[in-house]
Structure 1
Amino acid sequence: MGNSLIRMSYAIAVLWYLASCSNIKYLPDGEHLYVKGEVEIETDTIPKQYIKPLSDNLENLLRPQPNTTILGMRPQLYLYNIAGEPQSDRGFRNWLKNKVGQAPVLLSDVNREYNENLLRNRLENLGFFQAQVTSDTTINKRKATVTYTAAPHIIYRIKSVTFDVDSSELGKAIKSTEPQSLLQVGRPYNLDNIIAERERIDYALKNKGYYYFNPDYLIVEVDSVSADHQVDLYVMVKTETPAKAKRPYYINNIFIYPNYTLTQGGYQRADPREAELYRGQYHIVDPEYTFRRFALANAMIFRRGELYTRGNHNRTIRQLVGMGSFRFVRNEFVDVDTGKANQLDAYYYLTPMPKRGLRVELLGKTAAVYNGSEINVNWQHRNAFKSAELLTFTVYGGFETQTGGNVNLNSSFYRYGIETSLSFPRMIAPYRWQPTKRFVPRTVFTAGYEFLSRRTAYSLNALRFSFGYQWRENLEKEHELKVLEVAYVQPWNISDSYQALLDTVPPLRHAIEPQFTFGPIYQYTRTNTTRTDLTHTYYFKGGVDLSANLYGLIRGANVREGRQYQIFNANFSQYIKTEADFRHYMKLGTNSTLASRAMAGFGYSYGNSTQLPYVKQFFSGGPNGIRAFRARTLGPGSYTPEFYGEDNFFADQTGDIKIELNTEYRAKLASILHWAAFIDAGNIWLQHANPEKPGAAFSRNFIKEMAVGAGLGLRFDLSFLVIRTDLATPLRIPYRPAGERWVFDEINFRDSDWRKRNLVFNLAIGYPF
């Protein structure tokens, strides 16, 4: 095996070298391939820890950027070269050359003088007013590197900040923002901070009614004191600022057009004289009564006679968009032309979405030797009762079958069902409750039925109902409270072969037990992953699920003492279940990320129950979990799966406790093609020891029962859809004897039997986390 690896490594190195050389041979005569632009900082006035970030910042400004490299290679340039000259602007060669490939970046494309001025200007904007930049070119085997040497010298710092404004109402408004100024004495001069300060003052003024003011009316004069490398800053209003920008404005009439249509010439405005005055505040132009008046009025933050503020402006737009019924939301503010000063008429033009919509989704999935498909038909009505309610009917069906290996009782299943939901864009409660006005809260009712058949084993009928609320606290925090969720599951048509198995493998009975749960569920989500400017972003989702806690206590349920009660011929479940999922994303470069996830779940059953109901239990493995193990084949704990015949067992392992850790390196190869390397670890456990499942209970030795797997994957990022493939293998198998669980020494990719037993292929839609 060692000689084979050496020969393979040698072959890869040769191919790498030939590909590298082939990029050079395509260059025009006399040209050189531009491979690198670097910035060296020569200074003894900047602390060492800041030199590299400054250098990286400057290098990002250099133009043009060299061709993209992967491990020293330039695959996109290579594809560009081997594609030749396409015969037309269509076809594979044109796509390969101009869509996937990348034209060579030549030394002749680099304007050193332009880049020197660019770097010098950037350094001056950072406060290095006496910066100097020079450059030099190095050529090696027709590959060119341009090195820019920057001497920043001493940075200038802020000596004083003066808000030099008059005593007018505008001047007082600007002066009142001074305590929140971004310009602080002692900090380095920075042009970006000055621009941000102008925008900060403008936003503050917008919230004080100054609708026509903008940042360009502010100027920050800089007076440098060269002797001690300091600057005095003076914040002033430009003398040419127009008069109306100096006055606060108030809201006059508010016109709402909830059934607007776009025409070729723009918005077709209805006659305001057709408007109906509602609540003495809003002129609603909707003669066809397509929307109820209170629904539109509830979305409006502005009131007649109020001071205009940008906050209320934005909140009103968010409320209207959040109703979910409008394709376009546009507004404008118009000066009142009746001789009244400082007043604005507000116009809201709302273009509804189509009231009814039908969407059909067809999905395919595969994991190891299991393949299947699913279809979803979704019908929506976006204004069911003329108050922007969303009524949804969903019909779905799918199947999964085993296409390899030994066929068992769990080899295939099919399911179908129907679900209906009704979502109101407001809180419906016996008391007035409005958690936020920044976003539209929703009240949601959901009901559904599902039939699942494991053809040779059993069938399940499931009914569910829920009622609750969803609301967003801000852009990063979201809440979901199901005041009541009811789930009822009854088995049906249990096969003789599965019934016979229950006598020898009693744990299988849990999957077909009648189940009844009822209680509240709360989930909290917090994330800043929408921030593209951050190196580190995160996602957290946690929640608690309760069932029959109060009812069980009232009834005095205690299954261990023989007091177990039923509802609708099913033992009701009494438990507390908590879950937490934390994800962290670290940008390593423009096209690479390190993604990590830590998740844990704990279920505590008591009173009427000894374990979580089957539908609420955790499972491990599968394309979104520990990918080296098929879904539901791992755990609980070190429990050894019951095998029925050679390499054949019932893959349906569940538990009350779950811990999982994942780390994945993601990087772009070319165009839509990405790749990933990952490692997963975790397992599930039972709350209580079960003599029928030795080793399944959670204990302080749980670390020794963690499974570990690793692998590689490809992702095809189509922007609107990500198709993911992963190939993984176990590194640690928890149900093997202690001391034999790590299996590094058994890895043998040349052995077909090993590959068959240990390589798990997963095909999925979207990223695993």
Structure 2
Amino acid sequence: MNKKHNHIENQYVKYFVMLSLFFVLGCSNTKYLPEGDLLYTGGSVTVKDSIIKKKDRKALETEMEGLLRPKPNKKIVGLRPKLWIYNIAGEPKKEKGFRYWLRNTVGEPPVLFSKVDLDYNASVLRNFTENRGYFKTRVSADSTVSNKRVTAEYTVTPKRQYIIKSVTFPDDSLAISRIIGKSHRRSLLKVGKPYDLDIIKAERERIDARLKEKGYYYFNPDYILAKVDSSKGDHEVNIRLVIKDEAPVKALTAYKIDKIFVYPNYSLSNDSVVYRKKDIKQYHDFTIIDTADTFKPRIFDRTIYFKKGDLYNRKDHNLTLNRFVNLGTFSFVKNEFKPSDSIPKTLDSYYYLTLLPKKFIRVEVLGKTNSASYTGSEINVNWNNRNFFRGAELFTVSVFGGADFQLGGPNKGRNIYKLGAETSLTWPRFITPFNIQGNSEFVPRTKATLRYEYQKRTQLYALNSFNASFGYLWKENLRKEHQLNVIDITYVSPNHVTPEYLQQTKDDEALKRVIEKQLIFGPTYSYTYTNTMQKRRKNTFYFNGEVDLAGNITGLATSANVKKNDTIKIFDVPFSQYVKIKTDLRHYLKLGKESELASRLIVGAGFAYGNSSTLPTSKQFVVGGTNSIRAFRARSLGPGSYVPEVTNSTYVPDQSADLKLEFNTEYRAKLFSIVRGALFLDAGNIWLLNADPNRPGAEITKDFMKEIAVGAGAGLRFDLSFLVLRTDLAFPLRNPSRPDGQRWVIDEINFGSGPWRKDNLILNIAIGYPF
């Protein structure tokens, strides 16, 4: 009875605290206002019209409310905490320190009604509606005062909206007029649609863009005049597009390309340099002026899309500039077109290219931690040469080393050390037996890489890993990217395997496979699509698909595909045969200016065949950790409902499998300044394709959905502009290692219990967003 009474009493205390907080945050903000002034809490717009549909009217009201100025203080759950922080911080005595930061960075000054101009806002609304075709609109403004707070109310009474009755284009004999006329089918101005000034402006931009593709370099949208006649018809307008009389002759002239000059080693100090004859080279249609003979001339033939005699067009203009920038060799690219002195109606093109430093060293030092209780650091030293063979090739040599220490948990003392080196050479073109030329603004690349890594797990084993690859990277456009490695070879060899680990491999085939020699080779391909850079879109997507084919051709050549009992070896090492596919789909839903809902779905599958009975350990799927299901420690979840036996002296291996299904969703919102908050839900698991007697419950079955793990949590993200520091605190909601029927653990959640927090709360610290 006392427990029940105490529970009710605690509930009342909570309600009292919440109401008190609401009162303090709400009422205290007004006592700091200047004498005689009021706190402006926002404005509303009401459209009075019986013809406009209710849905369209509400959309119009919302759009007009966004035009009102100033904006009121920001509200969170009906309160204005940033204004409250500003007020309680008080006036700082100096322009630094905690109080100054709290007041001016975290806080927000009050928006006063004395700063609100009702007449100005009314005129803005009137202009907006008339630009939408609601001519002779009436707008009235009023305000309502209550407890030192004031709201502004605007009433908009539009007349009937005008509709486009006809659209005509220039019909004179000029060549430019004929080009404009021929493009009328693509016009944004449609008969029967409402009059809209913004559409007229967009139509002028469209016509200008069309003319830029036809040689009219000096034309611009201001030379087009839209004559609107509303005197005829019933709420209808006739729109006539004409070229202004004052448009200069050169704007009405189509130009071709004459001479092309390239300055590949340009700087501002070059303006006064007198070039010698040997510094000037002619290569095809290009005149290259370079005192240092920096590049082989063919690099410009592949980058510059204009040729002598071509009609000027904006597409090739921008394509050339973007390709110069994407070469990665120049810090500054400038382009000028000047009328030719020798041939009328032609342009000479000048490209001024300022070089980045040819050689540079980059050092990266990282600190890291993960949910498997490993804490460590890593250092990478990279030496780069941006123009290795004078063809804008990028040559890189890297050395790296790192250590991960597990300070607690069952693997305490079994630290991980790694050391390695990598060298790569990237050519800004396709290197193939065939002449393939990319035609996008992004330079296609060919890349060759050699890599060695030594990894030591103390008290367990060490691995030597060698990798060589050769392939191509190219972008169709800003959204679509491809990567094809026609050669990708990995060789893994173990050494220093301890007796302790060998003893454990006798009872676990998965542990034995980790230290087997591996030879993996075959093509890999990945495709990426994303439109997340389009910030104004409400829905954006990211998709990545990967295909990994190992040993396919070799399997056919050696008959490994049909030999069931014999394992075929190359250099005394069995080669792997498998097909692996992985897809990663992400969706971002913009909920507001500073909030979004981000979701991700990962599906992966690997199938070993022929010369292999299982996927190589390094190619299997894992789940759990800072970028996966955050309520479970890294690589510890699954497969399926399998539960590894753990003792204080037993090494706990990473759990990996052939199939993966994972779903994550995360609500993200800005809290203040550089701090963003998140609430998230993660779900998923991994499975084996075939049963493993050493891992019962690990294989996929028709009831695999019953083995889905679920976790939830909250986190903070600190956006430091150059990086995002992330902290996530997560806990399980569903644990597949429990017996069937007992896997939901929501009723066990108890944040007040120390043992529960120790066993279930997982802190993840990472750099960047999880997806």
TM over 0.5: yes
- Tell me the residue number matched to 2:284: 280
Candidates 371, 374, 377, aligned match of 1:370: 374
- Secondary structure of 2:700's aligned partner: coil
Change (3 A) 1:198 1:103: same
* CA positional deviation for 1:626: 0.5
Pairs within 5 Å for 1:125-204: 125-204=131-210
- Tell me the residue number matched to 2:723: 721
- AA aligned opposite 1:321: V
Change (3 A) 1:317 1:272: farther
- Tell me the residue number matched to 1:462: 465
* CA positional deviation for 1:198: 0.4
Q: Is the contact between residue 531 and residue 540 of structure 2 (CA under 8 Å) also seen in structure 1?
A: yes
* CA positional deviation for 1:582: 0.7
1:328 maps to 2:332: yes
1:95 maps to 2:101: yes
- Tell me the residue number matched to 2:90: 84
Change (3 A) 1:6 1:559: farther
| Partner Cα distance (1:387, 1:426) in 2 | 10
| Partner Cα distance (2:137, 2:415) in 1 | 71
- Tell me the residue number matched to 2:130: 124
Change (3 A) 1:6 1:267: farther
Q: Is the contact between residue 86 and residue 94 of structure 1 (CA under 8 Å) also seen in structure 2?
A: yes
| Partner Cα distance (1:627, 1:405) in 2 | 17
- Tell me the residue number matched to 1:709: 711
Pairs within 5 Å for 1:47-62: 47-62=53-68
- AA aligned opposite 1:690: D
- Tell me the residue number matched to 2:489: 486
- AA aligned opposite 2:696: P
Candidates 514, 523, 537, aligned match of 2:540: 537
Q: Is the contact between residue 627 and residue 760 of structure 1 (CA under 8 Å) also seen in structure 2?
A: yes
After superposition, the CA RMSD in angstroms is 1.9
Q: Is the contact between residue 283 and residue 297 of structure 2 (CA under 8 Å) also seen in structure 1?
A: no
1:415 maps to 2:421: no
Q: Is the contact between residue 333 and residue 345 of structure 1 (CA under 8 Å) also seen in structure 2?
A: yes
Change (3 A) 1:760 1:659: same
| Partner Cα distance (2:421, 2:116) in 1 | 62
1:75 maps to 2:90: no
- Tell me the residue number matched to 2:363: 360
- Tell me the residue number matched to 1:642: 645
Pairs within 5 Å for 1:251-270: 251-263=257-269
The runs of 5 or more residues in structure 1 that have no matched partner are none
| Partner Cα distance (2:276, 2:344) in 1 | 21
Change (3 A) 1:543 1:406: closer
- Tell me the residue number matched to 1:310: 314
| Partner Cα distance (2:568, 2:390) in 1 | 45
Q: Is the contact between residue 633 and residue 652 of structure 1 (CA under 8 Å) also seen in structure 2?
A: yes
- Tell me the residue number matched to 2:405: 401
Residues 406-437 of structure 1 deviation map (CA, whole Å, 9 limit, x = unaligned): 4457x431212111111111111111112424
Residues 427-467 of structure 1 deviation map (CA, whole Å, 9 limit, x = unaligned): 11111112424321000011101111111211111000110
* CA positional deviation for 1:700: 2.2
| Partner Cα distance (2:684, 2:731) in 1 | 14
Candidates 353, 368, 372, aligned match of 1:350: 353
- Tell me the residue number matched to 1:687: 689
Q: Give the number of aligned pairs.
A: 764
* CA positional deviation for 1:508: 1.6
* CA positional deviation for 1:94: 2.3
| Partner Cα distance (2:668, 2:354) in 1 | 41
* CA positional deviation for 1:679: 0.2
| Partner Cα distance (2:276, 2:708) in 1 | 69
* CA positional deviation for 1:257: 0.3
| Partner Cα distance (1:144, 1:607) in 2 | 77
Q: Is the contact between residue 507 and residue 693 of structure 1 (CA under 8 Å) also seen in structure 2?
A: no
| Partner Cα distance (2:366, 2:58) in 1 | 48
- Tell me the residue number matched to 2:766: 764
* CA positional deviation for 1:256: 0.3
The runs of 5 or more residues in structure 2 that have no matched partner are 1-5
- Secondary structure of 1:504's aligned partner: coil
TM-score under structure 2 length normalisation: 0.96
Change (3 A) 1:6 1:302: farther
| Partner Cα distance (1:236, 1:514) in 2 | 76
- Tell me the residue number matched to 1:678: 680
- Tell me the residue number matched to 1:28: 34
Candidates 94, 100, 111, aligned match of 2:117: 111
- Tell me the residue number matched to 2:3: none
1:584 maps to 2:587: yes
1:570 maps to 2:573: yes
- Tell me the residue number matched to 1:700: 702
- Secondary structure of 1:361's aligned partner: strand
- Tell me the residue number matched to 1:228: 234
| Partner Cα distance (2:70, 2:742) in 1 | 55
Residues 143-193 of structure 1 deviation map (CA, whole Å, 9 limit, x = unaligned): 221122222332211111110331111111111211111111111111111
* CA positional deviation for 1:30: 1.5
Residues 205-227 of structure 1 deviation map (CA, whole Å, 9 limit, x = unaligned): 01100000000000111111575
| Partner Cα distance (1:167, 1:686) in 2 | 75
- Tell me the residue number matched to 1:666: 668
Residues 463-499 of structure 1 deviation map (CA, whole Å, 9 limit, x = unaligned): 0011000111012111111111001111111112212
| Partner Cα distance (2:612, 2:139) in 1 | 75
Change (3 A) 1:268 1:144: farther
| Partner Cα distance (1:21, 1:453) in 2 | 63
| Partner Cα distance (2:310, 2:76) in 1 | 59
| Partner Cα distance (1:225, 1:453) in 2 | 85
- Tell me the residue number matched to 2:623: 620
- Secondary structure of 1:63's aligned partner: coil
- AA aligned opposite 1:603: G
- AA aligned opposite 1:35: T
Change (3 A) 1:158 1:626: same
Identity across the alignment (%): 49
